[in-house]
């Protein structure tokens, strides 16, 4: 690796082919400084990021490309959405989405390497794909980025240029657990046994689930991501001290970032490993908790689209639901509010009209109760969803729809 300054970095960008594809660290590891220079230096380019946050380059001449749409790309007229399970996104870099350059956001160098810190995810695969085709790998090296272990560690020899930049990382403050989220969290946590392995999400409902697990013991973490909830579990003695917390990226506060820094209990692995259904299934009593925009009486979930327009993407939902269902004692829980407050409509619908994201969950949980799904015939599934999960004010309507569809 050769260390360069901003001016040299800008000249390096000038040597890229016309309209290059550039893959950059996403989520809360956005390399803001280098992306701003990129925006000034190149009139045309494609920017590929996962779950891009607000503030990324966004103007005519920039194509925004992703397999999981974040708030920084959502509803953008220049968005190019490429549907893919998260576990399979790395394959795209070797086939249909080859990178000309990769910009990673890393820690400062440590013992001959840097770390991808809070965003391992698909970046190791992007680096390998770029190197294989003669592309350029550039690191924004930031002392504010924690040094995490595992696949996050990148040897300096695998990086072409490093730019020293100190900037604050984006953070996520835990949401207040309201009454509805708390009820859902309690219902889900009651299904979790001591020694279970958890997939942890982000938001009020996942935070409420974690809060409900404080009395459990020997819990393990195998997840695509985790947030500050693990600190609460750790302080309560709920985690298995002999198992490493395994994830691919991290959302959280500065307190969490400091906790994961050089922490041998945290293992950051590439997405192909964390999200491989076979690896997920190898964890005993795997509990996957996901959410959706809608669930229908067939037990299908839409977590990706609103009025046919892409809202997010598959993410890891499809990977973890399949993996959890194959785990010994595993469960795939779909947890959501029964009523969408902004749209003023039920989240439980007769039949989803959007493209389906996932199906055949173990159970559907709302603030109204827990509806058993897996292992029951379709009529019993529909009845359970109506009577246990749906909002009371739409149950009669759903019963009528169930009868018309042969589900009652």
Domain ranges of the chain: 2-164, 179-404
**Coil/strand/helix, residue 37:** helix
Mean pLDDT, the chain, integer? 96
Per-residue pLDDT tens for 306-362? 988 999 999 999 999 999 999 999 999 999 999 998 889 999 999 999 999 999 999
- For position 205, what pLDDT does the model report? 85
Yes or no: say if 138 and 163 are a contact pair by the CB < 8 Å rule: yes
CB proximity list for 379: less than 8 A, separation 6 or greater: 402, 407, 408
Q: Does the pLDDT value for residue 177 go beyond 90?
A: no
> Cβ neighbours of residue 180 under 8 Å, at least 6 residues apart?
337, 367
Question: Tell me: the pLDDT tens digits for 265-294?
Answer: 999 999 999 999 999 999 999 999 999 999
Q: Is the pLDDT of residue 380 over 80?
A: yes
Nearest to 159 by CA among 173, 178, 139: 139
CA dihedral 215, 219, 221, 225 (to 10 degrees): -10
Average pLDDT value for residue range 91-104: 98
Strands 197-199 and 149-150: unpaired
**pLDDT score of 404 more than 90:** yes
Mean pLDDT along residues 100-126: 98
Give the tens place of pLDDT for each residue, 359-375. 999 999 999 999 999 99
Whole-angstrom distance, CA of residue 274 vs CA of residue 264: 17
Higher per-residue confidence, 211 vs 273: 273
Q: How many whole angstroms separate alpha carbon 83 and alpha carbon 69?
A: 10
pLDDT at 94 over 90: yes
Homologous superfamily of domain range 2-164: Glutaconate Coenzyme A-transferase (3.40.1080.10)
Compute and round to an integer the Cα radius of gyration of the chain.
22
Average pLDDT, integer, range 192-219: 91
Percent of the chain with pLDDT over 90: 94
Domain 179-404 = CATH 3.40.1080.20: yes
Mean pLDDT calculated for residue range 101-112: 97
Is pLDDT above 80 for 182?
A: yes
Residues 6 or more apart whose Cβ sits within 8 Å of residue 302? 292, 293, 294, 295, 352, 354, 355, 356, 357
Q: Residue 194 in contact with residue 215, Cβ under 8 Å?
A: no
User: Which pLDDT band, with edges at 50, 70 and 90, does 207 fall under?
Assistant: confident
Using 50, 70 and 90 to split pLDDT, how confident is the model at 91?
A: very high
Does residue 224 carry a catalytic annotation? yes
- What 3-state class would DSSP assign to 366? strand
For residue 342, CA distances in Å to 175, 202, 324 come to 18, 20, 31
| pLDDT in the model for residue 200 | 79
The owner of tokens 């007229």 is 77
Residue 20 has pLDDT above 80, yes or no: yes
Question: What's the sign of the alpha-carbon dihedral 295, 300, 305, 310?
Answer: positive
Can you read off the two tokens belonging to residue 259? 């906790």
Determine the pLDDT at residue 341.
Answer: 86
Give strand ranges (E) for 94-152: 101-106, 113-115, 136-141, 149-150
- pLDDT value at position 24? 98
Stretch 378-388: mean pLDDT, rounded?
98
pLDDT of 232 above 90: yes
Please give the C-alpha separations between residue 239 and each of 184, 205, 231, in angstroms, as whole numbers.
22, 20, 10
Q: Give mean pLDDT, residues 236-249.
A: 97
Summarize the confidence of residues 237-260 as an average pLDDT. Answer: 97
- pLDDT band for 203, please (50, 70, 90 cuts): confident
Whether pLDDT at 174 is above 90: no
The pair of three-digit structure tokens given for residue 296, joined into one six-digit string: 């229908």
What percentage of the chain reaches a pLDDT higher than 70?
100
Tell me if domain 2-164 and domain 179-404 are identical in fold: yes
Q: Which of 119, 224, 272, 367 is catalytic?
A: 224
CA distance 139 to 340: 42
pLDDT (average), residues 74-97: 97
Report the length, in residues, of the chain.
408
The residue whose two tokens read 């990324």 is 56
The DSSP H or E segment spanning 301 is: strand 301-302
> Residue 349 belongs to what H/E stretch?
strand 348-349
Reply yes or no on whether the pLDDT at 126 is more than 80: yes
Retrieve residue 319's tokens. Answer: 């990977």
The pLDDT value recorded for residue 261 is 98
- What are the b/e assignments for 194-229, b being 16+ CB within 10 Å? eebbbbbbbbbbbbbbbbbbeebebbbbbbbbbbbb
For the beta carbon of residue 112, count every other beta carbon within 10 angstroms: 9
Model pLDDT, residue 173? 83
Give me the helix-helix angle, 204-211 and 179-189, nearest 10°.
50
Under DSSP, is residue 221 helix (H, G, I), strand (E, B) or coil? strand
Q: Report whether pLDDT(201) > 80.
A: no
Mean pLDDT of 31-57: 97
Q: Are strands 294-296 and 348-349 parallel, antiparallel or unpaired?
A: parallel
């Amino acid at each position: 690796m050769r260390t360069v300054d901003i001016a040299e970095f800008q000249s390096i960008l000038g040597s890229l082919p016309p309209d290059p594809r550039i893959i950059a660290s996403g989520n809360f590891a956005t390399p803001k400084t280098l992306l701003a220079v990129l925006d000034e230096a190149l009139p045309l380019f494609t920017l590929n990021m996962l779950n891009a946050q607000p503030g990324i380059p966004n103007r005519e001449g920039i194509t925004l490309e992703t397999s999981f749409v974040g708030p920084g790309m959502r509803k953008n007229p220049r968005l190019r959405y490429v549907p893919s399970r998260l576990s399979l996104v790395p394959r795209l870099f070797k086939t249909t989405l080859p990178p000309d350059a990769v910009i990673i956001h890393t820690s400062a160098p440590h013992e001959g390497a840097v770390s991808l810190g809070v965003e391992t995810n698909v970046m190791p695969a992007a680096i390998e794909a770029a190197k294989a085709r003669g592309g350029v790998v550039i690191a924004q090296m930031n002392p504010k980025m924690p040094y995490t272990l595992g696949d996050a560690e990148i040897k300096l020899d695998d990086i072409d240029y490093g730019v020293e930049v100190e900037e604050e990382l984006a953070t996520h403050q835990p949401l207040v657990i309201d009454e509805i989220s708390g009820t859902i969290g309690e219902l889900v946590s009651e299904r979790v046994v001591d020694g279970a392995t958890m997939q942890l999400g982000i938001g009020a409902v996942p935070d409420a689930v974690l809060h409900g697990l404080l009395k459990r013991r020997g819990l393990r973490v195998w997840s695509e991501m985790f947030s500050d909830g693990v600190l609460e579990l750790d302080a309560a003695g709920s985690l298995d001290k002999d198992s490493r917390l395994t994830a691919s990226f991290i959302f959280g506060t500065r307190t969490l970032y400091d906790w994961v820094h050089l922490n041998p209990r945290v293992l950051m692995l590439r997405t192909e490993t964390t999200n491989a259904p076979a690896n997920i299934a190898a964890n005993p009593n795997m509990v996957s908790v996901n959410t959706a925009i809608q669930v229908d009486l067939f037990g299908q979930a839409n977590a990706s689209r609103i009025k046919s327009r892409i809202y997010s993407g598959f993410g890891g939902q499809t990977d973890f639901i399949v993996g959890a269902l194959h785990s010994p004692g595993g469960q795939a829980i779909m947890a959501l509010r029964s009523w969408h407050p902004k749209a003023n409509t039920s989240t439980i619908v007769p039949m989803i009209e959007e493209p389906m994201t996932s199906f055949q969950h173990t159970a559907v949980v709302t603030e109204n109760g827990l509806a058993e799904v897996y292992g029951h015939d379709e009529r019993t599934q529909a009845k359970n969803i109506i009577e246990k999960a749906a909002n009371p004010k739409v149950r009669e309507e759903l019963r009528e729809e169930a009868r018309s569809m042969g589900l009652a």
